[in-house]
Structure 1
Amino acid sequence: MNKQERMLEIVRLVNLSGTVMVNDLIEILQVSDMTIRRDLASLEQEGQLTRIHGGAKSNSRLSFNELSHEEKHHQNMQAKRLVAQKALQLIEEGDSIFLGPGTSVEVLAEEIHCRRLQVVTNCLPIFHLLFKKRTDTFKVILLGGEMRERTQAFVGEMTNHMLGEIYFNKMFFSGNGVKNGRVLTSDFNEAQTQRLALGRSNATYLLIDDSKLGREDFTSICNLNSLTSVITDLDSDKVQQEIKPYTAVIV
């Protein structure tokens, strides 16, 4: 891939997702850190994107273009793994937990190796992953209902009815953005199901990487001040602005 092709691919990726990180571009394009940073500087001069801390954001992408579960697997995986490692420390033997949809939470599910745990989820990929780990004392429950293809999460009246009969020690969930003290996502029904699970949990933890902070989306899941804490990958200016005025943060 020559320089022109590489820069076209960077523009395609940033317009697809809204934000791209330098580390992800290095892995996808198989070039050096300095090469990516020079390309981003050139593209910013051309008005194609705007550089941000650790990456770049699109100047033309529509704000509410939701990515699929598979597409999100190519974004910020190093940051998501850091967040998951921190969240893992909060899970104790014997807990009953709810795991919401999203790749950040899926990475957490990959890291769970408790002997005694009960996990409830409405996300099909997370269920498939945890089902392989099940034992007599490690129980995994999938809530059924109508499945959203984009996130492979079950939502709607049937899902909510089942949730209304269960309580959890802890809930771990994610979102597409955090802005003005609110956790945001792309679908009203999915937000409604997450809100119900939040209300059934003693402790609630948002898993979000720095790239989502300051980002808008279609509808609100909850307010940050209703959460136990937010778990993120680094203590940036955006963390100081978007999280710390509202709730505790684990970085």
Structure 2
Amino acid sequence: MLAAQRQALILEQVRRSGGVRVTELVESLDVSDMTVRRDLDALEARGLLRKVHGGAVAPHRHSTEEPGFEANAARQEAEKQAIARAAARLIEPNSAIGLSAGTTTCAVAHRLRDVPGLTVVTNCLRVADVFHRTPRTDQTVVLTGGFRTPSDALVGPLAVSALRSLHLDTLVLGVHGMDAHAGLTTPNMMEGETDRALVAAARKLVVVADRTKWKTVGLCTIAPLERCDVLVTDAGMDGDARQRLSEQVGGLVVAEEAEEDVDGPPSPHGG
């Protein structure tokens, strides 16, 4: 079994049970104690679990924890590309769309560079730069002003003021976390206010979030899950979570990583 396969199985067990013992992994994976510990070290370095004496548990995420763009970009890269492909198919030519800040929305931006007639409103320098690098005469990009956050979002009164008079056909929103009770959340209060202005401006809300965002709760709520018209997530989202989400969002799209991508996967680090 390859290291990536072992680590995927370890993560699945941690997500399902909340934690796992080294001795259990040695038996179930049929590998040495040292191999398991190396896998746990690798997963902890990526922020996917937290090592404890004798095993590992799910990483604890504080409600105000705000990883930077580069740190987020290194996580779930394949899943984000699959989500981006699926989300891009929901965008129609000649429409006005919003793209919030985030590594997944940046991946979506790469997929939208060849869609004709788009007007793109964003509060993210990284997203705007994706379109700037391959400009089209039939696309318009509107970048809000504002203060810059660790996630490279432009937020605050200038951003909110710019958004209040706009009317978007579709908003593609990236989130820090989503929860059945807390809804769609962010750890940054000013980013939450700006995201709420984006949501208010949009007729249709498409949320892009991989499985690690489920049951993660940030400091403030952007919108309830019921406000989401379409949630695009990855195939690793477990069955119970899919069922719960299906009951609360308008529609659930599960993106498969194995889908053929003739253009090749653009890096989520782009911008």
SS of the equivalent of 1:245 reads helix
Distance 2:110 2:202 in 1: 22
Question: Which ranges of structure 2 fall in alignment gaps of 5 or more residues?
Answer: 1-33, 255-271
Normalised TM-score (structure 2): 0.73
Please name the residue that 2:175 is paired with: 175
> Which of residues 3, 7, 13 is equivalent to 2:46?
13
Runs (4 or more) in structure 1 with deviation over 3 Å come to 2-10, 60-64
Matched with 1:65 is 65
Compute the displacement of 1:201 (Å): 0.7
Q: Is the 8 A contact 2:66 2:151 kept in 1?
A: no
Which segment is superposed worse, 241-250 or 185-194?
A: 241-250
**Alpha carbons 2:63, 2:187 under 8 Å: kept:** no
Alignment of 1:95-110 (within 5 A): 95-110=95-110
Residue aligning to 2:204: 203
Structure 1 unpaired stretches of 5+: 21-39, 51-56
Contact persistence 2:61–2:216 (CA under 8 A): no
Alpha-carbon distance between aligned partners in 1 of 2:240 and 2:208, rounded to the nearest angstrom: 15
| Deviation by residue 1:103-161 (Cα, 9 ceiling, x = unmatched) | 0100000111112111010001111111123222111111111111x111111111111
Q: Give the AA of the match of 1:244.
A: S
Aligned residue-pair number:
216
Identity of aligned residues (%): 20
* Pairwise CA distance, 1:237: 2.2
CA RMSD between the two structures: 2.2
TM-score (norm 1): 0.79
Could you list the per-position Cα deviations for residues 151-195 of structure 1 after superposition, in whole angstroms to 9, with x for gaps in the alignment? 111111111111112111100011111112401111111011111
Query: What is the correspondence of 1:26-175 to structure 2 with a 5 Å cutoff?
Result: 46-47=54-55, 49-50=56-57, 57-58=58-59, 62=62, 64-112=64-112, 113-148=114-149, 150-175=150-175
One-letter code aligned to 2:247:
P
Match of 2:131, SS state, is: helix
Which structure has the higher relative contact order (CA within 8 Å, separation 6+)?
2
CA drift of 1:62 comes to: 4.2
Report the Cα distance in structure 2 between the residues aligned to 1:158 and 1:63, rounded to whole angstroms: 25
